[in-house]
A and B are shown apart, each in its own frame.
Chain A
């Protein structure tokens, strides 16, 4: 997932009468589930909303390397280290396709990176939480990628063609990530008492931040309606969150871990688990930059970018010299 609180660039939904002919043709395509492609006409607000959403998603993949990278050098076996490297490599690859999908909307990757580094664009709040013990790496795969998959499976049907196709490809890899995460945490939950303690600690700390990944509750989600009408968003935040809880609670029970929220309870009437809301004031604080890792994560990305300037300049200068030499030879 990794896109939350996307401010839809519009002043509300227009009725058919208020739409121009172009807008009506566009909306008809959406309603008929015909994908919008880069060269098709699209409302400016649709374009801007998608740039925000896909850009935030791409940034999340990139920043998401940091909490996992935090444990690559301490992975406890060669196999776990190899799996984690493969996963982080996939995440960076997702960042790459998503930036490419955003570029089809007329914004360059450099512009998007600039907006991330200057704080104008966000990444998912989840990556502002720390990874403190090895079980966190399992929990990130299982809970965080698990939450992401729920959103992304829905987004495979999103109306913008390049985004939908990126989601289809990404979902295949994400399901491998979620599985490896669950296996890693299973080894710990069924391991020594210390390992079980690590697993419990990870679930306790990451449960509510994982719930926050779906964004604010529907009643406070002011931007959803237009995005749903444009099929940029397919399901509401609360629907997705419920789906995640229903899927995850039995997995926690199977692991023999304590539930991280005393109010989790099966509700026969609704056919769903009841659960507590995350602390939304904490969520808004993290979004504002006050999460435990916001400052460090952004500083790490800025440092990587600044320290890499000479590398990008050097390689660019070299390719220009080569091109000039080829021209001269022709």
Chain B
């Protein structure tokens, strides 16, 4: 694997995470529990899609064959997607959506903070811009997880169920492989495993305040960030997301 191959994989991982999660969050449009949440969800999705445009545009540039961010988003099949499995699981109820958001945002913010110091200026610039948005995302998802965890008996039970369901998808965010080793060697990105201690500290504090128990199991589903085996859900998501581009090839929208 050349450095550019690894760099491309890294950029796809970043861009596919925000693309797929942005898509999931946008599915809430018009169906949220209160109007303020409709606004917040649309806003979060909008930020994530904006970040996708930056990551995937850079991925296209690194790939060097003239592909645009749209080509990468709309014309790759599931096996070429490099997002973590966590972001492709269905929304479930509002509790699961916000729990997933918090689990992702907490990782995302730690990652972007480190990427601000990337040896690649383009990566550092994207991180600089994105981290401002993600700081708001995590503030909101954290408050919601705490509010609902420590709310009524029902909201507590639903949030615990959400955490139990999502927990096996958290480990993949911190898995390291040859791509990561290459990124560390180039000073482009940190080893994901090195973010885990800070992440665990945040989670311990927030879940305690939310009166929720972090599952004991250390088992992690993997296969998203290396594309080896996505969930069954991704194909359905891409079917709707890519439909127009696939049905009318070459049209400009």
Contacts and interface: CB of A to CB of B under 8 A. Distances in A.
Interface size bucket, A side?
35 or more
Contact of B146 (A184, A187, A317, A318): A318
A79 interface: yes
Interface stretch (B43-51, B105-113, B123-131, B178-186): B43-51
B197 interface: no
B94 A77 contact: no
A300 interface: yes
B207 to A, nearest CB: 15
Interface in B155-208: 155-156, 158
B29 A88 contact: yes
B36 interface: yes
Nearest to A78: B53
Interface string A76-89: 11111110011011
A187 B252 contact: yes
B73 A192 contact: no
B74 to A, nearest CB: 7
A310 B152 contact: yes
Contact of B147 (A195, A305, A307, A314): A314
Nearest to A61: B35
Given A78-B53, A311-B94, A73 B33 contact: no
B200 to A, nearest CB: 24
A192 B248 contact: yes
Interface string A244-268: 0000000000000000000000000
A308 interface: yes
Contacts of B74: 76-77
Interface stretch (B6-14, B214-222, B239-247): B239-247
A315 interface: yes
B245 A76 contact: yes
Contacts of A300: 30-31
A136 interface: no
A310 B39 contact: no
B55 to A, nearest CB: 11
A194 B248 contact: yes
Contacts of A184: 253
Interface string A109-149: 00000000000000000000000001000000000000000
B102 to A, nearest CB: 15
B26 interface: yes
Interface string A157-199: 0000000000000000000000000001001100110110000
B95 interface: yes
A38 interface: no
26 contacts: A63-B30, A74-B241, A76-B245, A76-B251, A76-B253, A77-B70, A78-B19, A81-B26, A81-B49, A85-B29, A88-B29, A88-B30, A89-B39, A92-B39, A96-B39, A184-B253, A188-B253, A191-B253, A192-B251, A194-B251, A309-B33, A311-B95, A313-B152, A317-B152, A317-B155, A318-B151
